[in-house]
């Protein structure tokens, strides 16, 4: 005998799953009107379909950042279309995953059962291939952050002491747009600097400069490279009369920054 399904139960299941009315009605019929059993049935059924679609390209998505006290996380969640990435459910799931990551060990984040469940729920309700791409959890110090308005570029900044929030956010914005190689010269491969120095020396000598002048010109090239490519020496994107080192209080040091661009 066919179970009679109340419209209110179909509507309630639709609200919980985001799936169509006919799918929800069929699920309730298959589970004798039990809403919880129908929800589980739907999720298993839809998840099985989605598991066959993981080859679909996930070129869109969002980056999320969560900070509480001396803990912070940054995560990237990918999906197929920008339309889905902009939905309220996708944004909330990204935030929920970032916040959940705060409770995980410091270092690279590996998706656990809770995070996988949030991703699977998006896959089921959107019909798209959604995946947890990457994440990092940091411990200690204080933080600044910035997520660009499209959600596709973001920066999480860690410093060793409290600093004005607007200064930290400004530095994060700078990092997003200038993509420094590292914090300072210590983060640059010495071999790369030596190559720049040697090439500049050879060029100067070939132009007829003596050893002293050639040496000064070579050091100038190295200095310019560091000014253009290391955070603390770069001109501040918001006020180019300052360098990043001028923006921070004297007692504050940048210990780490993480810059994410969606898909790279």
CATH number of the domain where residue 212 is located: 1.10.286.20
pTM of the model: 0.80
pLDDT the model gives residue 9: 83
Of the listed ranges 48-52, 163-167, 200-204, the least confidently predicted one is 48-52
Average pLDDT over residues 127-152: 95
Phi first, then psi, for residue 255 (nearest 5°) are: -105, -25
Query: Which pLDDT score is estimated for 50?
Result: 56
Do 45 and 64 have their domain in common?
A: no
pLDDT one-digit tens code per residue, 206-223: 888 888 888 899 888 989
The three-state secondary structure class of 72 is: strand
146-155, 186-195, 220-229: range with highest mean pLDDT: 146-155
Angle at which helices 88-101 and 113-126 cross, to 10° = 170
- 151: in domain: no
Asked if residue 12 is part of any domain, the answer here is yes
pLDDT above 50 for 1: no
Do 87 and 39 lie in a common domain? no
In 3D space, the residue among 46, 45, 24, 20 whose CA is nearest the CA of residue 33 turns out to be 24
> How high is the mean pLDDT of the chain?
89
Indicate the number of domains in the chain.
Answer: 3
Q: How far apart are CA 144 and CA 127, in angstroms?
A: 35
Q: Are 35 and 14 in contact (CB under 8 A)?
A: no
How deeply is 261 buried, as exposed, middle or buried, from its count of CB atoms within 10 A (0-12, 13-18, 19+)?
Answer: middle
Tell me what pLDDT residue 215 has.
85
pLDDT of residue 48: 62
Same domain, 32 and 94: no
**Residue 243's CB: how many other CB atoms inside 10 A?**
15
Say if residue 104's pLDDT is above 60.
Answer: yes
Q: Which domain holds residue 78?
A: 57-140
- Report whether pLDDT(53) > 50: yes
Residue 236 lies in a domain: no
In a 3-state reduction of DSSP, which class is residue 218?
helix
Residue whose token pair is 């169509």: 20
pLDDT at 29 over 60: yes
- The DSSP string of 121-165 is HHHHHH-S--EEEEEEEEESSEEEEEE-TTSSEEEEEEESS---H
**Residues 129-141 pLDDT 10s:** 899 999 999 999 9
CATH of the domain at 46: 1.10.8.10
For the chain, what percent of residues have pLDDT higher than 70? 93
182: three-class secondary structure by DSSP: strand
Q: What is the pLDDT, as a whole number, of residue 205? A: 84
């Amino acid at each position: 005998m066919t179970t009679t399904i109340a419209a209110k139960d179909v509507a309630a299941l639709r609200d919980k799953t985001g799936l169509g009315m006919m799918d929800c009605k069929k699920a309730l019929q298959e589970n004798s009107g039990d809403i919880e059993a129908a929800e589980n049935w739907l999720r298993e059924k839809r998840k099985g379909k989605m598991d066959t679609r993981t080859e679909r390209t996930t070129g869109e998505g969002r980056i999320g950042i969560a900070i509480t006290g001396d803990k912070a996380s940054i995560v990237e969640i990918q999906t197929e279309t920008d339309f889905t990435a902009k939905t309220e459910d996708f944004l909330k799931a990204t935030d929920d995953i970032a916040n959940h990551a705060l409770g995980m060990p410091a270092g690279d984040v590996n998706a656990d059962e809770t995070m996988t469940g949030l991703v699977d729920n998006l896959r089921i309700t959107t019909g798209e291939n959604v995946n947890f791409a990457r994440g990092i959890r940091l411990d200690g110090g204080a933080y600044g952050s910035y997520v660009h308005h499209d959600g596709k570029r973001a920066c999480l900044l860690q410093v060793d002491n409290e600093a004005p929030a607007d200064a930290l956010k400004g530095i994060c914005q700078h990092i997003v747009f200038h993509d420094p190689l590292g914090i300072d010269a210590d983060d640059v491969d010495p071999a790369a600097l030596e190559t720049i120095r040697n090439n500049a020396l050879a060029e100067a000598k070939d132009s007829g400069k003596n050893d002293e002048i050639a040496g000064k010109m070579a050091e100038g090239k190295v200095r310019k490279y560091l000014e253009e490519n290391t955070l603390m020496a770069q001109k501040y994107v918001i006020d180019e009369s300052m360098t990043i080192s001028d923006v921070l209080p004297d007692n504050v040091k940048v210990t780490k920054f993480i810059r994410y661009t969606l898909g790279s």
